[in-house]
């Protein structure tokens, strides 16, 4: 319960602190990096992308000592960059090439931002694609997100520079840290530090992770058994893999690979995401392509259902103030469903936890269906939440920990066989 | 004699009371932290190594916090007066779309809505005066914070909802034909709202039960029958308890038709806890058809006219 309280406190303080309007305004507030209209600013001579390359040439680490120092330096540069990404900024650009807007941001904040041309090509976005953007008092991270979201591009911090490129790969937090870094950085920055175990001590957190993960793995494996109907041999292999993954996470195999430490605290990870990623990987490794496709279908449908729930919550929240007609509700649902961006709302229960919260959905997806008066109200509501972005909260039990571990899948509920306990209508549906 | 259900109600209610108190406490802590140092953005860096000699903290809450708490970042009271007027017009337009109101009906609704706005802002101003008296008194502040809750709830849920002059007048004004149309649209709206909450709860259940797509779909349908949809809703944050409470009233055999044996065992533990939420939910503003007080619209109409005369100058 105390964890829940801590999480609630963090959410609340984080939310209150993010309001753009001043709660207490002081003359000695830290100055914000204000950007004049981009079109009025002179263009920098040297492209930002060259900076890290030059730096790399200058360093040329040969000896192991130098390599170690270089790695340390990169780490430090990344940390500095993380801080820079939290600096407030204003940005106005009207119909300017993406590369110029990026260059201006890089110059203004004295950082390196590189456009990954291959990724841009893949996304079908030219570096000189013209964009229009207007943000005020956003963190640099959010401003970048805002610029990139409609282009289906993302950014990450790599080796002391910001790289704009591909969307993130599917989550496999343990196995592919280097790839995950691109996607994870912006998310972590906006996240409540829910993944940080508190001062209660690492062991308790690790034990909790183990208990929760086991229960969640059993539940997910029930899904695999019901959908993919694996053979005993396949099941055994999957279970062995899962056991290994859990042991590895807990550091039973190799203490160096144990849960990560940061500033004396333990990063245990999200048991829900971890366990599902492990199952996903094991299914791909040990089941046939057909079986794996059946599981993938369920995973995709799960994601679609979560998006649907979020869309319906958005429209419900709009409806509370705007008295939408049934037709308006249907139109907005359809539009949002077609254009949904998971970054707007990490989980549908966000709406239940935050009474006044509204995701940062661009106006174009909603305003066209509203009348003048509704638009005015929507804009005032929308502005109130600007800049509030949530990352996926860590799993803490059913309904965010309101129901503790005793409400998770229990040992005695493990099935005797794959078909024995499947509900009758589910069998028919399958 | 205290029953298990009573104990569960008490536990749920006391949890929510503690939660509310903690949120209040959190805001107080936040207010203390934000005074007199400058407000920090959510992710501004905190520079460590500040001088050790810190004078004893005095409990102080800045005046600016009041509007922030009441209106949730939507500006000061004056700006919200205008916003509330717009909300009223949108509500009237919403009814107009469904029922084709006459000008006279619209004017009456406008008058009733104005009375609601006036009453609300009078309440806010009374609370503001109280805030001035307690803003430096930590002991009294908690008590004040309790009084703040319903005002915040009104801002969240709307000033023209159940219990408002607007709603009462509306019921009184409409012809039978209009009432039928309005009721139908209102039912549809409530169903849409409730279904979104059911879907959210099912997504949460899916986290611990790993449901199949078909099971989720069936569960959503099972939990969204018309009789389960509240006539009036309380706070959004309590909606998940409302869904679980309604789910707890579903016979086990219906759940067994959808869920597998181990899933039923898990959900039964959850629903056993939720079974005791009824009284709490009702006290928090959730009303279902068939509940006492759910169908007394006509009686409320009579009172509404009297109240409007009292409230509107």
A327-355 tens-digit pLDDT:
999 999 999 999 998 888 878 888 877 77
Contact residues on chain B for A5, CB-CB shorter than 8 A: 19, 22
The length of chain A in residues reads 430
Closest listed residue to residue A16, CA positions, set B195, B33, B104, B133: B33
Which residue reads 């399958």 in tokens? A430
What pLDDT does residue B214 have? 95
Residue of B nearest to A188 (CA): B43
Distance from CA of A45 to the nearest CA of B (A): 31
Q: Say whether pLDDT at A312 is over 90.
A: yes
Q: What is the pLDDT of residue B89?
A: 93
Closest CB from A21, A28, A321 relative to B68: A21
CB contact under 8 A, A329 and B38: no
Which of B43, B214, B239 lies nearest to residue A139, judging by beta carbons?
A: B43
The rounded distance, in Å, linking the Cα atoms of A155 and A14 is 23
Q: Which of the residues B236, B242, B275 would you substitute to probe the A interface, choosing the one with the greatest number of A C-beta atoms within 10 Å? A: B236
Which run of H or of E encompasses A164?
Answer: strand A161-165
What residue of B is the nearest CA neighbor of A349?
A: B200
Please choose, from the candidates B40, B41, B36, the residue with its C-alpha nearest in 3D space to the C-alpha of residue B60: B36
Percentage of residues in chain B with pLDDT exceeding 70? 74
Q: Taking 50 as the threshold, does the pLDDT of residue A56 lie above it?
A: no
Mean pLDDT, all residues of chain A: 69
Q: What is the mean pLDDT of residues A267-271?
A: 70
What's the half-sphere exposure (Cβ side, CA atoms, 13 Å) at A123?
22
Identify the residue with better confidence: A151 or A289. Answer: A289
d(CA B309, CA A147): 53
Q: Which residues does chain B have within 8 Å of residue A83's beta carbon, measured at their own beta carbons?
A: 45
| B207/A395 CB distance under 8 A | yes
For B42, the closest of A17, A384, A424 (CB atoms) is A17
Listed by number, the residues of chain A in 74-103 with a beta carbon closer than 8 Å to a beta carbon of chain B are 83, 86, 88
Q: What is the C-alpha to C-alpha distance for residues A206 and A248, in angstroms, rounded to an integer? A: 12
pLDDT at B295 over 70: no
Model pLDDT, residue A177: 34
Q: Mean per-residue pLDDT for A262-270? A: 55
Higher-confidence residue: B73 or A267?
B73
pTM exceeds 0.90 for this model: no
Does B87 contact chain A (CB < 8 Å)? yes
Q: What pLDDT, on the 0 to 100 scale, is given for residue A217?
A: 92
The more confident residue out of B80 and A27 is: B80
Q: What is the pLDDT of residues A196-226, one digit of tens each?
A: 333 334 566 677 778 888 889 999 999 999 9
A231-to-A224, A283, A290 alpha-carbon distances in Å:
11, 12, 14
Tokens of A362: 């661009």
- pLDDT over 60 at A5, yes or no: no
Q: Which alpha helices (H) appear in B135-175, and where do they start and end?
A: 138-157, 165-173
Whether the CB of A50 is below 8 Å from some CB of chain B: the reply is: no
Supply the pLDDT for residue B313: 34
**How far is residue A98 CA from its own chain's centroid?**
23
pLDDT average, residue stretch B160-181: 90
Mean pLDDT within A128-149: 75
Residue B236 to residue A355, Cβ atoms within 8 A: yes
Query: pLDDT by residue (tens digit) across B247-263?
Result: 999 999 999 999 998 89
Q: Which segment of A198-202, B14-18, B189-193, B294-298 scores lowest on mean pLDDT?
A: A198-202
Q: What is the pLDDT of residues B99-137, one digit of tens each?
A: 999 999 999 999 999 999 999 999 999 999 988 888 888
Q: How far apart are CA B242 and CA B228, in angstroms?
A: 9
What pLDDT shows up at residue A264? 46
Tokens encoding B167: 């709603």
Q: Which of residues 209-248 of B touch A (CB under 8 A)?
A: 209-216, 218, 235-237, 239-240
Q: Which range has the worst mean pLDDT, A45-54, A254-263, B133-142?
A: A45-54
pLDDT score at A47:
35
The verdict on a CB contact (< 8 Å) between A24 and B34 is yes
The residue among A89 and A237 whose pLDDT is bigger is A237
Residue B242 C-alpha, separation from nearest chain A C-alpha, in angstroms = 12
H helices within A200-325, ranges in order? 202-228, 232-250, 271-286, 289-322
Q: Check: CB of residue A86 under 8 Å from CB of residue A140.
A: yes
User: Mean pLDDT across the stretch A69-87?
Assistant: 69
* Angstrom distance (rounded) from CA B276 to CA B12: 8
Helix, strand, coil shares, percent, chain B, to 5: 75, 0, 25
- CA–CA distance, B74 with A76 (Å, rounded to integer): 39
The answer, for A411 touching chain B at a CB cutoff of 8 Å, is: no
Element housing B119 (H / E): helix B103-134
Q: What is the pLDDT of residue B20?
A: 56
Contacts of A334 in chain B (CB under 8 A): none
Residue A190 has a pLDDT of 28
Structure-model confidence comparison of residues A268 and A121, the more confident one: A121
Which residues of B fall within a CB distance of 8 Å from A139? 41, 43
User: Token pair for residue A333?
Assistant: 């649902």
pLDDT of B37 higher than 80: no
A42 pLDDT more than 70: no
Q: At A115, which helix (H) or strand (E)?
A: strand A113-115
* Side-chain half-sphere exposure of B11, counting CA atoms within 13 A: 14
Q: What is the mean pLDDT of chain B?
A: 78
Instruction: Round to whole Å and give the CA distance between B225 and B238.
Output: 19
């Amino acid at each position: 319960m105390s964890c829940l309280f801590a999480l609630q406190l963090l959410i609340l303080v984080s939310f209150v602190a993010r309001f753009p309007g001043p709660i207490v305004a002081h003359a000695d507030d830290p100055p914000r990096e204000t950007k004049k209209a981009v079109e009025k600013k002179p263009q920098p001579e040297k492209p930002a992308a060259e900076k890290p390359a030059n730096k790399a040439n200058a360093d040329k680490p040969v000896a192991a000592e130098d390599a170690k120092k270089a790695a340390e330096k990169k780490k430090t540069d990344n940390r500095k960059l993380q801080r820079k990404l939290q600096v407030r900024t204003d940005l106005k650009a009207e119909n300017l090439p993406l590369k110029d807007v990026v260059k201006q941001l890089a110059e203004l904040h004295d950082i390196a931002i590189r456009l990954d041309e291959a990724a841009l090509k893949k996304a079908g976005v030219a570096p000189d694609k013209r964009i229009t953007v207007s943000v005020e008092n956003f963190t640099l991270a959010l401003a970048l997100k805002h610029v990139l979201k409609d282009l289906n591009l993302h950014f990450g911090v790599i080796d002391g520079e910001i790289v704009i490129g591909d969307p993130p790969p599917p989550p496999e937090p343990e196995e592919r840290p280097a790839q995950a870094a691109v996607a994870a950085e912006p998310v972590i920055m906006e996240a409540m530090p829910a993944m940080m175990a508190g001062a209660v001590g690492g062991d308790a957190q690790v034990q909790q992770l183990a208990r929760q993960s086991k229960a969640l793995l059993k539940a997910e494996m029930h899904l695999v058994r019901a959908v993919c109907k694996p053979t005993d041999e396949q099941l055994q292999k999957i279970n062995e893999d899962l056991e290994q993954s859990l042991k590895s996470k807990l550091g039973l195999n190799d203490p160096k690979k144990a849960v990560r430490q940061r500033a004396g605290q333990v990063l245990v990870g999200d048991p829900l995401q971890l366990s599902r990623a492990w199952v996903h990987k094991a299914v791909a490794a040990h089941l046939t392509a057909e079986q794996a496709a059946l599981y993938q279908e369920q995973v995709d449908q799960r994601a679609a259902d979560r998006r649907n729930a979020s869309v319906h919550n958005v429209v419900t929240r709009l409806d509370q103030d705007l008295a939408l007609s049934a037709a308006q509700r249907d139109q907005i649902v359809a539009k949002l469903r077609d254009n949904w961006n998971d970054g707007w709302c990490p989980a549908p229960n966000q709406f239940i936890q935050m009474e006044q919260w509204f995701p940062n959905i661009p106006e174009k997806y909603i305003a066209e269906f509203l009348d003048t008066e509704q638009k005015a109200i929507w804009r005032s509501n929308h502005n109130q939440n600007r800049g509030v972005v949530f990352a996926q909260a860590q799993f803490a039990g059913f309904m965010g920990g309101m129901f503790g571990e005793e409400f998770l899948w229990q040992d005695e509920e493990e099935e005797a066989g794959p078909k024995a306990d499947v509900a009758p209508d589910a069998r028919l549906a399958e | 004699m205290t029953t298990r259900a009573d104990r569960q109600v008490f536990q749920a209610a006391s949890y929510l009371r503690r939660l509310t108190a903690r949120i209040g406490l959190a805001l107080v802590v936040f207010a203390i932290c934000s005074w007199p140092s400058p407000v920090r953005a959510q992710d501004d860096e905190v520079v460590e190594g500040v001088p050790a000699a810190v004078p004893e903290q005095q409990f102080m809450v800045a005046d600016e916090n009041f509007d922030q708490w009441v209106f949730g970042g939507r500006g000061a009271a004056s700006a919200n007066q205008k916003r509330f007027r717009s909300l009223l017009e949108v509500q009237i337009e919403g009814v107009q779309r469904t029922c084709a109101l006459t000008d006279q009906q619209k004017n009456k609704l406008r008058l009733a809505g104005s009375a609601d706005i006036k009453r609300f802002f009078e309440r806010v101003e009374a609370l503001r005066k109280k805030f001035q008296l307690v803003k430096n008194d930590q002991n009294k502040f908690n008590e004040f914070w309790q009084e703040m809750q319903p005002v915040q709830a009104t801002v969240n849920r709307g000033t023209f909802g159940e219990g408002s002059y607007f709603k009462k007048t509306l019921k009184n004004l409409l012809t039978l034909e209009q009432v039928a149309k309005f009721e139908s649209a209102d039912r549809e709206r409530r169903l849409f709202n409730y279904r979104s909450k059911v879907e959210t709860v099912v997504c949460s259940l899916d986290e611990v039960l790993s449901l199949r797509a078909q099971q989720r779909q069936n569960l959503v349908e099972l939990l969204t029958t018309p009789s389960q949809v509240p006539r009036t809703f309380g706070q959004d944050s309590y909606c998940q308890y409302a869904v679980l409470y309604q789910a707890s009233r579903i016979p086990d055999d219906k759940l067994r038709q959808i869920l597998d044996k181990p899933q039923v065992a898990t959900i039964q533990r959850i629903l056993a806890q939720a079974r005791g939420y009824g009284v709490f939910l009702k006290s928090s503003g959730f009303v279902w058809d068939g509940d006492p007080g759910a169908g007394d619209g006509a009686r409320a109409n009579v009172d509404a006219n009297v109240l409007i005369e009292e409230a509107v100058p």
